[in-house]
Amino acid sequence: DAEITQSPRHKITETGRQVTLACHQTWNHNNMFWYRQDLGHGLRLIHYSYGVHDTNKGEVSDGYSVSRSNTEDLPLTLESAASSQTSVYFCASSESQGMETQYFGPGTRLLVL
Amino acid sequence: GEDVEQSLFLSVREGDSSVINCTYTDSSSTYLYWYKQEPGAGLQLLTYIFSNMDMKQDQRLTVLLNKKDKHLSLRIADTQTGDSAIYFCAETIQGGKLIFGQGTELSVKP
């Protein structure tokens, strides 16, 4: 069955380190999204992509970057991790802009010490 | 800017109906969604409603949309302990992006 996966599921890192979170989908969806989930804020959009080599900033993009070299993957990089980036990160994908239903991965819990 | 508001908590007894409410701001939203998140898990698509509909029913779930008031509700009939979760309302905005509410934590007491 087609699916969306994230790795690692849990990560502990230190302030200042570079961290990359992986997201992989097998639906061949054009659109992919990264969110962070924090208490009291719901889900906030970090970056998104509408296709290969396309990337866009979301609401809370500072300190994060993404790249889209193929349809299946959208890795999220924290260039220099900060304690404020401790959060749960979710990746999602959708088929096209005309059908916005997004399907979510299981999430990555990141703790920055 | 766009905003989606939900109450944070709802507590019901098993067998009762639950009603979770949501207000949104973007009148051009084409779809409005309800997602369910169980503890430690990702978001699971529960149901959605197209903006030209007033109501959608799917087994125990009923979604009501009042476009004039920009109000969306999710009714769960015969609520079970397995329905305990966080429920997120989301509206679509330009470019297929979603704006989420803060989530409503539903607690079902036996």
pLDDT in tens, A68-93: 999 999 999 999 999 999 999 999 99
**pLDDT, mean over chain B:** 92
Q: Do A106 and B35 touch (CB under 8 A)?
A: no
Q: Do B42 and A105 touch (CB under 8 A)?
A: yes
Q: Do A101 and B30 touch (CB under 8 A)?
A: no
Tell me which chain B residues have a C-beta less than 8 angstroms from the C-beta of A102.
45, 98
Tell me which chain A residues have a C-beta less than 8 angstroms from the C-beta of B31.
100-101
Q: What gap in Å lies between CA A53 and CA A70, rounded to an integer?
A: 8
Which of A25, A31, A35, A43 should be substituted to probe chain B, the one whose Cβ sees the most B Cβ atoms within 10 Å? A43
Query: What is the reported pLDDT for B100?
Result: 92
Kindly report, residue by residue over B30-76, the tens digit of the pLDDT. 889 999 999 888 899 999 999 889 999 999 999 999 999 999 999 99
The arrangement of strands across the sheet holding B4-6 comes to B4-6, B18-24, B71-76, B61-66, B55-58
By the 8 A CB rule, do A76 and A47 touch? yes
Q: Do A106 and B103 touch (CB under 8 A)?
A: no
By the 8 A CB rule, do A89 and A81 touch? no
Tell me which chain B residues have a C-beta less than 8 angstroms from the C-beta of A107.
41-42
Q: What angle do CA A53, A87, A110 make, to 5 degrees?
A: 80
Tell me which chain B residues have a C-beta less than 8 angstroms from the C-beta of A32.
none
Q: Can you read off the two tokens belonging to residue B18? A: 């639950």
Query: What is the reported pLDDT for A1?
Result: 66
Q: Do B92 and A100 touch (CB under 8 A)?
A: yes
Query: What is the reported pLDDT for B97?
Result: 86
Kindly report, residue by residue over A20-69, the tens digit of the pLDDT. 999 999 999 999 999 999 987 889 999 999 999 999 999 999 999 999 99
pLDDT band at A112 (very low <50, low <70, confident <90, very high): very high
